[in-house]
Structure 1
Amino acid sequence: MTMRRIYLDTEFTSLNRYQAKLISLALVVQEGPEFYAELTDNWDESDCSDFVRETVLPQLDLSKHGRTTELARGELLAFLQALGPVEVITDAPDYDWTLLLWLVDPAGLPANVQPQPGLLCIDFDADYSGDEPPHHALQDARLLAALAEKSNPA
């Protein structure tokens, strides 16, 4: 069975790696299934940097995508297990990968998921001609998938 690539992006409360709390997480298979959840019980607006309050929070739709951490964890694990062999690709492993591992803990990653992230190899200056990504995990993961698959098809 072929290893699928899945693209990960997260939004979190601040750039302080040791204090960042997960707000939302998206996983996208190019032209395939997607997972997206916004956590409702893991962070508070007071945890957020000014940038996050101004840019990220207004884009959330907690009534549609909001999940408790426990519910999001179960849905995420079921989503990952259904994919078969998969490599998670990210452009920010210090944040995105760390927060993915936090969300799946204590269950850990399913056996079908590679235990280390693949690093995104995109020259954004050459490959992306749009404005700055929107800082919405699902939209950004879709953009990363489109750029990466265009630059490095399977």
Structure 2
Amino acid sequence: MLLFLDTEYTGLGQEAPRLISLALVAEDGSREWYAELAEGWTVDDCAEFVKREVLPHLTGPRLTLAEARASLRDWMASAPRRCVAACDAARDFQFLLELLGECPDNLEPTRFDLAPLIDTNAYHRAVENYHVTYDRPWHHALYDARSYRLGWLASQSDHMRRASR
């Protein structure tokens, strides 16, 4: 099962960016996990873009690192026996592994890269439609992970349609 992953963190290009929030959305849409970290970063750590585009949209819950790790491990323990994180950036996957502390047995140690889909029409339209239709801001880990799932489903549907011709 794919788990669509997105994170928000203190800024691109930083030597040691810090995780602010992380979300996972199951391929079938039946399960989601989202948390914001209440520690490990400050507003002063954030790039101007993050202050402007990410921080105003945080919705909670805010968890300590220990609480987030325990909650995420429990969530992963109840996931199917084979999961693959799907994300468009290696940094997101690194943050997931760091938050988990260790890779659980049911999570593949490598990610499914969504980046090649970003410029495809079906994926791009579905991602944009999610944000517009549901009036969900960009740069919110949960909303972006949900949109990635819809983009992937649209791209798979488009691929199947093309293959059947």
Both structures adopt the same fold (TM-score exceeding 0.5): yes
Q: 1:17 to 1:88 in 2, by over 3 A?
A: farther
Tell me what 1:122 maps to. 117
* Aligned partner (choices 151, 155, 159) of residue 151 of structure 1: 155
Which residue type is aligned with residue 112 of structure 1? Answer: N
| Cα RMSD, aligned residues only | 1.9
* Aligned partner (choices 140, 146, 153) of residue 144 of structure 2: 140
Give the deviation of 1:124 after TM superposition. Answer: 3.4
Kindly tell me the number of residue pairs found equivalent between the two proteins: 146
* Aligned partner (choices 15, 18, 24) of residue 15 of structure 2: 18
Contact 1:7 1:89 in 2 (8 A): yes
Q: TM-score scaled to structure 1, two decimals?
A: 0.87
Unaligned stretches of 5+ in structure 2? Answer: 132-136, 161-165
Percent identity of equivalent pairs: 34
Q: Deviations over 1:56-78 (max 9, x none)?
A: 0001124xx11001100011111
Alignment of 1:1-154 (within 5 A): 4-16=1-13, 18-30=15-27, 31-62=29-60, 65-84=61-80, 85-93=82-90, 95-105=91-101, 108-120=102-114, 121-127=116-122, 128-129=124-125, 130=128, 134-152=138-156
Q: Deviations over 1:72-97 (max 9, x none)?
A: 0011111111112111111111x101
Contact 1:122 1:151 in 2 (8 A): yes
Greater percentage in helix: 2
Q: TM-score scaled to structure 2, two decimals?
A: 0.82
Which residue type is aligned with residue 8 of structure 2? Answer: E
CA distance in 2, matches of 1:48, 1:104: 23
The residue matched to 1:97 in structure 2 has which SS?
helix
The residue matched to 2:34 in structure 1 has which SS?
strand
Unaligned stretches of 5+ in structure 1? Answer: none
The residue matched to 2:7 in structure 1 has which SS?
strand
Give the deviation of 1:102 after TM superposition. Answer: 1.3
Give the deviation of 1:125 after TM superposition. Answer: 4.9
CA distance in 2, matches of 1:109, 1:125: 31
Which is bigger in relative contact order (C-alpha 8 A, separation at least 6)?
1
Q: Which has the larger radius of gyration?
A: 2
